[in-house]
Amino acid sequence: MNNARFESYYKTQSIIPEDQWDAFLNTLREPLPTTFRVAGSRQVARALSEVVRDTYIPNLTDLVFEGEAIPPPRQIPWYPDGLAWQFNVPKKVLRKHPEFKKFHSFLVYETEVGNISRQEAVSMLPPLFLQVIDMCAAPGSKTAQLLEALHADDDVNSSSIPSGIVIANDTDPKRTHLLIHQSSRLPSPSFMVMNLDASNMPNIKVPHEPPQGSNLRNLVFDRILCDVPCSGDGTMRKNVAIWKHWSPLDGNGLHSLQLRILKRAMRVLAKGGRIVYSTCSLNPVENEAVIAAALNDIPGFTLIDVSSLYPQLIRKPGMTYWKPPVDKELNFSDSYEGYLESLPEERRKTTKMVKTHWPPDNVDELYLDRCMRLYPHLQDTGGFFVAVLERVEFPSASERTHKEGKRTAEHLEEPSTAKKPRINEVEVEDIMDQDESAAVSISASALVPEPEQGEKDGVEPAESANDTGFKEPPYTYLPRDDPSVVACLEKLNINSSFPAHNLLVRNPTGEAARSMYLTNDLVRKIIGSNDYTRLRLVTAGTKIFGRQEGKSAGSSFRVLGDGIPVVMPYIADEHIVTADIEMLRVLMEGYYPLLTAFNQEFRRTLEIKSPGNHIVRFPAGDRDGVNLSHDLVVPIWKSGMSLGLMIDKKTKRSVNALSLRLFGRDITTVGQQKAKSQNENQARGDQTETPVEHAPMVEEGKEPTPVIGDDDNVPGEVEENSET
Ligand SMILES: C[S@@+](CC[C@H](N)C(=O)[O-])C[C@H]1O[C@@H](n2cnc3c(N)ncnc32)[C@H](O)[C@@H]1O
């Protein structure tokens, strides 16, 4: 693992003091420790962190494997509330040492159900500096961390409907679906996913409140994460291929896109709002140079000094001097002007170097030392860069137009000068709108990767997104008196304060066909005020009801696993069936058990219930050595004289995880079948696994078949959720 140009480039930049250089390089060559956060709302995260600390760590302490001492997992010192952990043990220890094997399968299961998020330590940082609220931990990437922040005070079984929103955007359609998947671990009526080029993001319209002359205004955000596409050389410990392919020009090429994305974010930020700009690159051209250029281009912003936050995080200040490489051979030039002069006349117009690659003349006025650099050798992490910008003031519209014109002439020599007049016009419009809309409370996450061709200085983008082949189905809000809505709410005894006006469907006819999604009011206003294809809106809100067909079901909607916490606050206690943990065991062990398999009290309660969907609560507590750390609430289905847990894909995994956590093994029908086959195989000395028949699952649109578990979630490696 060597790259002479990498070494030479970063030595020239003096990013690391000479006496630390060897430690820096050696750490880059070592594998990264495994890191994870316990996730979910504050309550879930704390409960699970206690399980790690009190149940697993004692058994993982003072272990020796093949003569070597194995260090136990430890908490990452700077992460709030001790909710992030790291360990560094060889794979064979995870596979072979019985205690680590147990711990590993616990991690795999909890990751599956979204209670644990494997994420690189430094990648956990950007959302922390957004400080939407006091953060804990979440499933998946940084977007999930933002969603968690929005839902931090939720109870395990009852979630709020926040008035703000989190928008996750990515230009890559496939990756937007990954985002949906990851955030499904924390379903939220306040979540939207868009598939836009962040550097050219259209304004999002919302109605004025109270209504004013013009109907709509531009939405502004008070928190934006710009985790921009970058060369990624801070991830070399994990992505070893970077050693081979790294080139000093990688950063130069990304700089303009990074700058355009940051500038677009700055233009849609509310007064007092914050942007976190981050990369997993060590290169100042992708970091401080972008920040400096953005600050010089858009007035009214300042870098925030966050050095006192998370004091245990060892970081270095941002750089105030750097030298952009002008070619692959690592030649440098002191200034842009000097560089242009050194070029033959005909190359001056075609060079890809831009003035903002160099430190600006006023670099000392920008407080670039307030940026944070995270180096691998300092705390056994990846390399990372974070800067926090705040919008401190809005100049008046006329001041702004004047200044902006002047700045353009003085400081900016970007190729797209032809677009400048238009930028100014739009900015004025934005500022006026922002003054009127400062009360809007929004969080947004701009997520991004590959650089794009044909760069332009993005401010107000072209209005036509329709010709881009965006094919997602439309969003239609159902009337409150829609018969399917009324029947569904009645069946589950959901009271009239439930925001049924925010239920939407996604199909061409706009009728309640298969699923109903719930959004909050702001999402509804956005959908009502914008062409969703122009916003390239991939998803909005969370799916809470699904149609159930079948003999016992007739044709009705049932609450989905994700919908339970959302509807719980609207259901009176007397409509929830309470049962003890033994009943849960019966539901898990049996395949569609008869009512007679349950105790008398539970049986009597259910006998008088109508067929179909009901909700059961298992209260927290200890019984027969089984400990439920918090109330568990699940949907069940009554069909004739039988009962079953309602299993959708997510619930199915969580039931397996729950079984493992409560009963120490997978007691579900398929889990038992699988264990039996494995035992038989082992008895025969056969190492291969016997395939187990998949038990049917209850999925949307199918006859409810309340069966627990199947074998498609055999523990594998814990997957990492985020890029960096
Ligand atoms: C560093 S990754 C983001 C990682 C993410 N924040 C996380 O924590 O998992 C950069 C992302 O930027 C996206 N991207 C690249 N160019 C973009 C653009 N012009 N607009 C929006 N997203 C872009 C890429 O698809 C990629 O997913």
Give the model confidence (pLDDT) of 367-393 as tens digits.
Answer: 999 999 999 999 999 999 999 999 997
pTM score of the predicted model: 0.81
What is the CATH number for 447? Answer: 3.40.50.150
Classify 554 in phi/psi space as left (phi over 0), alpha (psi -120 to 50) or beta: left
In this structure, is residue 568 part of a structural domain?
Answer: no
Residue 515 pairs with which residues in a beta bridge?
Answer: 546
Q: Which residue's C-alpha comes closest to atom 23 of ligand 1?
A: 448
Domain boundary among 558, 587, 602: 558
244 belongs to a structural domain: yes
- Ligand 1 within 6 A of 120 CB? no
Q: Hey, what amino acid is at 64?
A: V
Tell me: do 85 and 206 sit in the same domain.
Answer: no
Decide if 446 is inside a domain: yes
Residue 607 shares a structural domain with residue 651: yes
Residue 311 lies in a domain: yes
Residues 6+ apart with CB under 8 A from 349: none
Same domain, 202 and 102: no
Question: Which among 538, 465, 554 is positioned nearest to 506, based on CA atoms?
Answer: 538
Q: How far apart are CA 216 and CA 211, in angstroms?
A: 9
413 and 305 within one domain:
yes
Q: Is 455 in the pocket of ligand 1 (CB under 6 A)?
A: no
DSSP 590: S
**Cβ–ligand 1 contact at 448 (below 6 Å):** yes
- How many H helices and E strands in the chain? 24, 29
Residue 490 and residue 376 in one domain: no
Helix (H) or strand (E) holding 675: helix 669-683
> 420 and 487: one domain?
no
Q: Which of 170, 197, 230 to mutate to test the pocket of ligand 1 (most atoms within 8 A of CB)?
A: 170
Euclidean distance between CA atoms 446 and 198, whole angstroms: 7
Instruction: Classify residue 19: in a domain, yes or no.
Output: no
Measuring CA to CA, which residue among 82, 78, 80, 88 is closest to residue 54?
82
Q: Are residues 194 and 325 in the same domain?
A: yes
Task: Provide CB contacts within 8 A for 105, sequence distance 6+.
Answer: 660, 715
pLDDT for res 372: 97
| d(CA 705, ligand 1 centre) in Å | 40
| Pair of tokens at residue 584 | 């849960």
DSSP-derived letter for residue 202 is: P
Give the three-class secondary structure for 489.
helix
Structural domain ending residue among the three candidates 508, 526, 558: 558
The answer to whether residue 674 is domain-embedded is yes
Residue with tokens 């007397």: 574
CA-based angle 137:386:352, to the nearest 5? Answer: 135
Verify whether ligand 1 is closer than 6 Å to residue 562 (CB atom).
Answer: no
CA of 252 to the centre of ligand 1 (A): 18
Counting Cβ atoms within 10 Å, is residue 521 exposed (0-12), middle (13-18) or buried (19+)? middle
Pick from 242, 509, 279: which is nearest to 371 by CA? 279
Q: Which helix (H) or strand (E) element contains residue 550?
A: strand 542-550
How far is the centre of ligand 1, averaged over its atoms, from the C-alpha of 356 (Å)? Answer: 22
**How far is Cα 222 from Cα 200, in angstroms, rounded to an integer?**
19
Q: Are residues 280 and 238 in the same domain?
A: yes
| Same domain for 540 and 442 | no
Last residue of a domain, one of 461, 476, 507: 461
Three-class DSSP labels, 31-100 = CCCEEEEECECHHHHHHHHHHHHHHHHHHHCCEEECCEEECCCEECCCCHHHCEEEECCCHHHHHHCHHH
Tokens standing for residue 489: 């709410």
- Indicate if 453 and 473 belong to the same structural domain: no
Per residue in 147-181, pLDDT tens? 877 777 676 667 778 888 888 888 988 888 888 87
Which are the catalytic amino acids? 280
Based on the domain organization, do 430 and 383 belong to the same domain?
yes
- Domain assignment present for 310: yes
What residue owns the CA closest to ligand 1's atom 19?
197
Nearest ligand 1 atom to the CA of 721 is 9
Angle, CA 527 vertex, CA 523 and CA 531 arms, to 5° = 150
Cis, peptide link before residue 210, omega less than 30° from 0: yes
Number of compact structural domains in the chain: 4
Q: What gap in Å lies between CA 701 and CA 515, rounded to an integer?
A: 9
Residue 368 lies in a domain: yes
Start-end of H helices in 437-578: 483-491, 521-529, 564-567
The pick from 180, 201, 448, 719 for probing ligand 1's pocket by mutation, whose C-beta has the most ligand atoms within 8 angstroms, reads: 448
Task: Report residues of the chain scoring pLDDT below 50.
Answer: 131-140, 402-466, 687-724
Give pLDDT, residue 686: 52
Q: Which domain holds residue 685?
A: 576-719
Q: What is the pLDDT of residue 251?
A: 96
Which ligand 1 atom sits nearest the alpha carbon of residue 722? 9
Structure tokens at 618: 């298992």
Residue 679, both tokens: 């035992």
Query: Within this chain, do residues 238 and 358 fall inside the same structural domain, yes or no?
Result: yes
Nearest to 559 by CA among 619, 509, 506, 518: 518
